[in-house]
Structure 1
Amino acid sequence: MCRNIRTLHNFEPPATADEVDAAALQYVRKIAGSSKPSQANAEAFDRAVAAVAEATRELLAGLTTTAPPKDRDAEAAKARARAELRYAR
C-alpha cells in the first residue's frame, strides 16, 4: 500500500471529505504510475479519482465495528514514535 494512504475507518472525528479525496488521489496516482496525468489522460484520471472517492465514502459508511474510535492525535503520536525509531541513526 502507498505510504501516503492512511486508515480512515473508526476515527473520532470521522474522516473528512478532504481526507477521502486525498486518499483517492494517492491511490489513482499509484495505480496510474504518475503523479500528474498528461492532458490526454486528465479526464480519465479525474473520473477515476472521483469514482474511488465515492467508493471510499460508501465503504466507510457501511463499515461497522465494536472497537472504540481511535484518537487522531494519539495515532499520530504513535506514528511519529515509530518513525523516530525507524529513521534514528
Structure 2
Amino acid sequence: MCRNIRTLHNFEPPATGDEVQAAALQYVRKISGSAKPSQANTEAFDRAVAAVTEATRELLGELVTTAPPKDREIEAAKARARSAERYAR
C-alpha cells in the first residue's frame, strides 16, 4: 500500500471529505503511475478519483466495528515515533 494513504476508518472525529478525496487521489496516482496526468488523460484520471472517493465514502459509511474510536492525535504521535525510530538509524 502507498505510504501516503492512511487508515480512515474508526477515528474520532470521523474522516473529512478532504481526507477521503486525498486518499482517493493518492490511490489513483499510485495505480496509474502518474502524479499529474497528461492533458489526454486528465478527464479519465479525474473520473477515477471521483469514483474512488465515492466508493470510499460508501465503504466508510457501511463499516461496523465494536472497537472504540481511535484518537487522531495519539495515532499521529505513534506514527511520528515509528518514523523517528526508522530514520534514526
CA-CA distance at 1:11 after TM superposition: 0.1
CA-CA distance at 1:77 after TM superposition: 0.1
Match of 1:69 in 2: 69
- Write the letter of the residue equivalent to 2:23: A
When normalised by structure 1's length, the TM-score is 0.99
Q: Distance in 2 between matches of 1:41 and 1:82?
A: 37
CA-CA distance at 1:24 after TM superposition: 0.2
Q: Distance in 2 between matches of 1:44 and 1:82?
A: 37
Superposed CA RMSD in Å reads 0.4
Q: Distance in 2 between matches of 1:58 and 1:5?
A: 17
When normalised by structure 2's length, the TM-score is 0.99
Q: Give the aligned length.
A: 89
| Structure 1 stretches of 4+ moved >6 Å | none
Output one character per residue of 1:38-77: Cα deviation in whole Å (capped at 9) or x when no partner.
Answer: 0000000000000000000000000000000000000000
Match of 1:87 in 2: 87
* Paired-residue identity, %: 84
Q: Secondary structure at the match of 1:59?
A: helix
